[in-house]
Amino acid sequence: MSVFAPATPFADFIYRHFRSVHALKLGLALLVAVTINAIWAPPHFIWSMVTIVVIMMSLPQVGGAIEKSLQRAIGTCLGSAYGVMLVATVDSYWLIMSLLILAVSLICFISAGRYSYAYLVSGFTIIIVVGDANHDTSEALWRTANILSGCVIAILVSLFIFPIKAKQDWRSQLTHAIDNMAEVLAQHLKAPANHDLDFRAKLEAAMKAVLTQKKLFFSLEWESKTLKKHKVLLSQLANKQVRLITLLELLPLTRWQEEDKDAYLQINAVASELAFYLQQLAEFVAGKAQQLPTLPECLEQELQHRLQLALASAPITSTIVASTTDLDAAATDGEVPQGFALTGYSWLIYQLAIAVEALYEDIAIIEIAYNKQPASQITSGKAD
């Protein structure tokens, strides 16, 4: 099922109340650990509960819990193996502690990147297992076993009891970002000339939603094979949202003269279509529309032509008309064909069109991938 398909009532309920559900799941995981202790009473049982809290407290999503559990398990096994080896083979207190300090320092030096948590866990597991260097290997092994059992409990509870999916959160954040951008553009176009509306709050909310999307990438990889195959595309999609937000931040800074009003209104008529396309895209991502809406073929070329006509109708003395220097610079950049009468505002609307089209393209690729269509059918999502 597509990541953009309408959410089931159960999944929607879990997402809307995910804080309460997450707290309930953490309590159930601890209850499982307490029950195991009541039945078998394994030594150093407390480490099982500590592990559950560390893994589940800050990561409600299934993918995040799996990622962190596996890193903790790997780090625990490596750290425990080294710690047990020290306890079993070295009798000197100072030699054990020297080798412990050396290992932890080395781990600190190489710890970086995606698996930094595994390095961290291996470092403090060595310290936990070795302790004061006055116990036998059985105590170290029991501590390790309890940490691993805590990892298993955390994964099972996350997977099978009211699973909170990172896909649902990512999709909600993507909808929130696009919806805020569409609203900013629509409000700007409806406002009077030289308005002083402040869009910072909405654009900051959109940017926050984009940053949240980036934090969910690792979790998404564990939950969806399709999204894992397109993890580069997810990053590109986030960057394109940032570009669109940046362009929207420039809108309130635009200024024009009264004699330019007619040309400005014609340009805004073109821009209003972009706001409509963005709103349609947000509805599809939210699951309110079953099919991805289509864009006109060669949207940016069509807008280029219509903006040319709008500018051509403006007075010759209008301050909206671009200077020869601006045209030469634009032609040098190669972003638009020569002959396109660029101005600050019309150029901004043109770039907005390109950014909106780029969002459609990436979301269309993800949707087609979920439908398992051949790669040759992956298009930009435009109408034929």
Region of 237 (left: φ > 0; alpha: ψ -120 to 50; beta: rest) is alpha
Nearest to 365 by CA among 259, 226, 198, 250: 226
Is 80 a residue whose pLDDT tops 80? yes
Is 265 a residue whose pLDDT tops 70? yes
| 278-337: pLDDT as tens digits | 999 999 999 988 888 888 766 666 666 666 666 665 554 333 333 334 434 444 454 443
Is residue 357 within 8 A of residue 300, CB to CB? The reply is: yes
* Mean pLDDT, the chain, whole residue set: 82
* Mean pLDDT computed over 130-143: 76
Distance CA 216, CA 370 (A): 19
| 143-180: pLDDT as tens digits | 889 989 999 999 999 999 999 999 999 999 999 999 99
Whose tokens are 């002959």? That residue is: 339
Predicted local distance difference test score (pLDDT) of residue 294:
84
The distance from CA 381 to its chain's CA centroid, rounded to whole angstroms, is: 22
Predicted local distance difference test score (pLDDT) of residue 147:
87
Distance CA 109, CA 5 (A): 45
Predicted local distance difference test score (pLDDT) of residue 334:
45
| 327-375: pLDDT as tens digits | 344 444 544 433 333 367 778 888 898 899 899 999 999 999 988 754 4
| 23-58: pLDDT as tens digits | 999 999 999 999 999 999 888 889 899 999 988 988
Predicted local distance difference test score (pLDDT) of residue 25:
95
Task: Give the largest CA-CA distance in the chain.
Answer: 93
